[in-house]
Amino acid sequence: MIEATSCGGVVIFRGKILVLYKNYKNKYEGWVLPKGTVEAGEEYKETALREVKEETGVSASIIKYIGKSQYSFNTPQDMVEKDVHWYLMMADSYYSKPQREEYFIDSGYYKFYEAYHLLKFSNEKQILEKAYNEYLSLKKNNLWGSKKYF
């Protein structure tokens, strides 16, 4: 068994959530949240910000740690147990550019219920729900986008 760790972000701008559409040789298709593997010597926050930037072109700011999701999958060689650490992030515009080298063919900001229904994986839907509720709570208390919160 191989253990792997990734980090990613639930990126929000003006109440809308950034999601990516991946199509890998028609074998793997679906909408996902941006995330990727931790590199040697990298902190989780750094990984999350770097992966969001690489996969979507978005320079986001971390607002808060949301939690961890776990899943496993099989490769021809072994079974992989994966932990993904998620952060609530804020973007400063609707700009995004999907990373073609990683087989992302579309990206965009969607309303919560749209993003929720687009997402392929149930663990990402749960993280989205948790992050969005946190966002609503911060917004209600006028803390969203406020520099004093960071």
What's the CA gap between 44 and 6, in Å, rounded? 8
Within a domain: residue 146?
A: no
Domain-located, residue 81: yes
Residue 150 lies in a domain: no
The per-residue pLDDT of the chain, averaged, comes to 94
- 78 located within any domain: yes
pLDDT digits (tens, 9 = 90+) for 43-89: 999 999 999 999 999 999 999 999 999 999 888 999 999 999 999 99
Interior angle at CA 129, CA 138 and CA 22, nearest 5: 120
98 is a domain residue: yes
* pLDDT of 113 over the 90 cut: yes
Total domains in the chain come to 1
Reading the block at residue 105, the tokens are: 């063919």
- Characterize 121-148 residue by residue with b for buried, 16 or more Cβ atoms within 10 angstroms of its Cβ, and e for exposed: eebbbebbebbbebbeebeeeeebeeee
CA dist 77 and 149 (Å) reads: 45
For the chain, how far is it from start to end, CA to CA, in angstroms? Answer: 38
Strands 35-37 and 2-13: antiparallel
Q: What is the pLDDT of residue 24?
A: 86
**Residue 28 placed within a domain:** yes
Domain that holds residue 20: 2-141
Listed in sequence order, the DSSP H helices in the chain are 44-56, 112-118, 122-140
Residue 147 lies in a domain: no
Task: Summarize the confidence of residues 87-115 as an average pLDDT.
Answer: 96
CATH code of residue 133: 3.90.79.10
Q: What is the mean pLDDT of residues 110-139?
A: 97
More confident residue, 149 or 70: 70
Domain for residue 148, yes or no?
A: no
Q: pTM of the full predicted structure? A: 0.93
